[in-house]
A = this chain, B = another copy of it.
Amino acid sequence: MTPALHNRRFLRAARREPTDTTPVWIMRQAGRYLPEYMEVRNKVTFLELCKRPDLAAEVTLTAQRVLGVDAAILFADLLPILEPMGMNLEYAKGEGPILHNPLKTAEDVARLRELTDPGELGYVYEAVKLIRRDLPPDIPLLGFAGAPFTLASYAIEGGGSRNYVDTKRMMYSDPASWHTLMSRLSASLVRYLRAQIEAGCQAVQVFDSWVGCLSPSDYRRYVLPYTKSVIDGLPAGVPIIHFLTGNPALLPMQREAGGSVMGLDWRVDLKDAWRTVGHDVAVQGNMDPVILFAEIPTIRERALEVLEGAEGRPGHIFNLGHGVMPGMNPDHVKALVKIVHDEGARR
């Protein structure tokens, strides 16, 4: 890594070193709200876009450039890792992802293969290389993957879910299958994320998007050891953002599971959450994404509230509390980035 890259504000903040201003990126920054993205997306299916390194690189680079954010994030999705593990994945129009052979029984779980050769997802690392080649040399590139619970819930439910009934049923009623599933996912994720890092990512984010449906005692018993094994399996010195959404009561265990940056959703005050996870770890977040539908003065007011929550402490990376949404005005996203850069410098 070059000194310029090492010393730019995103990676400095991830190490809790002082920065010239608050670094910012936006979850799902290369997404459907962006006309430059839609132009590429309209030519191919979503899964093709994930698997075409040239196009994945293009949308990644464009988003970083037009927004002026402090990090690029690899364009990819949480679920393609399940394909080489034996699952049949489809993104149905307007319906979200569908897994046509969901894991409902012990036999289904037994058939799930561990990802032993991460090369089966070679198109991802190819995209990483293309992005790294063309990204400004001082801008870090983030890789990412789903956390074991979030992937398990997709694999069991066969798609999104409201109440995670089958997922919890397996946890409660067939803990052996649950353990097999979570272990295979965790081992696969370590290989997948290591390969992203080897291909050129400077940091990675682990998304536990659906784990907020669990009670603290279920998180501790059925999730924490597996997420921890993923994070512990990654190379030392590479910042890991551990993002979890939907249940602020899990914050102390989010920290316990590991990561150098705790990704926060908007359901907590950043100041309170940072105190809870400890000031000896960096934090990322956490403006409610829906605020981007409001006018710019409101966006400014709310962005300032988040910045103030950091109390001038080094180690805050600004982000939304979840992904930017289709229909949002790209000018509002750009304005937010500028507000953070301007106002973060004054703190």
Which residue of B172, B212, B288, B321 contacts A291 across the interface (Cβ within 8 Å)?
B172
Which residue of B212, B215, B305, B325 contacts A217 across the interface (Cβ within 8 Å)?
B305
Q: Mark A147-171, 1 if CB is under 8 A from B, else 0.
A: 0000000000000000111001100
A183 at the interface (CB under 8 A from B): no
Query: How many residues of chain A get a CB closer than 8 Å to chain B's CBs?
Result: 32
A134 at the interface (CB under 8 A from B): no
A residues bordering B, Cβ < 8 Å? 163-165, 168-169, 172-173, 212, 214-218, 246-249, 266-269, 272, 288, 290-291, 293-295, 298, 305, 321, 325
> When A247-B267, A248-B247 are in contact, do A293 and B215 touch as well, CB less than 8 Å?
no
Q: Decide: A290 and B212 in contact? CB cutoff 8 A.
A: no
Q: Which one of A246, A249, A305 has the greatest number of beta carbons of chain B within 10 Å? A: A249
Q: Decide: A298 and B173 in contact? CB cutoff 8 A.
A: yes
Q: Decide: A294 and B249 in contact? CB cutoff 8 A.
A: no
Q: Decide: A216 and B268 in contact? CB cutoff 8 A.
A: yes
In the complex formed, the residue of B with least CB distance to A322 is B163
**In the assembled complex, which residues on chain B have CB atoms less than 8 Å from the CB atom of A291?**
168, 172
> When A215-B267, A216-B268, A217-B305 are in contact, do A173 and B290 touch as well, CB less than 8 Å?
no
**In the assembled complex, which residues on chain B have CB atoms less than 8 Å from the CB atom of A169?**
290, 293-294
**In the assembled complex, which residues on chain B have CB atoms less than 8 Å from the CB atom of A218?**
288
What are the 6 tightest A-B residue pairs by CB atom distance, in nearest-first order?
A172-B294, A248-B249, A168-B290, A249-B268, A247-B267, A215-B266
A142 to B217, CA, bound (A): 30
**In the assembled complex, which residues on chain B have CB atoms less than 8 Å from the CB atom of A216?**
267-269, 272
A291 to B164, CA, bound (A): 11
Q: Decide: A173 and B249 in contact? CB cutoff 8 A.
A: no
Q: Decide: B269 and A215 in contact? CB cutoff 8 A.
A: yes
For the complex formed, measure the closest distance between the CB of A123 and the CB atoms of chain B, giving whole angstroms: 30
**In the assembled complex, which residues on chain B have CB atoms less than 8 Å from the CB atom of A266?**
215
Q: Decide: B215 and A172 in contact? CB cutoff 8 A.
A: no
Which residue of B173, B214, B294 contacts A173 across the interface (Cβ within 8 Å)?
B294
19 contacts between A and B (CB under 8 A): A163-B290, A163-B325, A165-B290, A165-B325, A168-B288, A169-B290, A169-B294, A172-B291, A172-B294, A173-B294, A212-B267, A215-B268, A215-B269, A216-B268, A216-B272, A246-B246, A247-B247, A247-B267, A248-B248
For the complex formed, measure the closest distance between the CB of A259 and the CB atoms of chain B, giving whole angstroms: 20
Q: Which one of A214, A215, A291, A298 has the greatest number of beta carbons of chain B within 10 Å? A: A215
In the complex formed, the residue of B with least CB distance to A299 is B172
**In the assembled complex, which residues on chain B have CB atoms less than 8 Å from the CB atom of A294?**
169, 172-173
**In the assembled complex, which residues on chain B have CB atoms less than 8 Å from the CB atom of A164?**
290
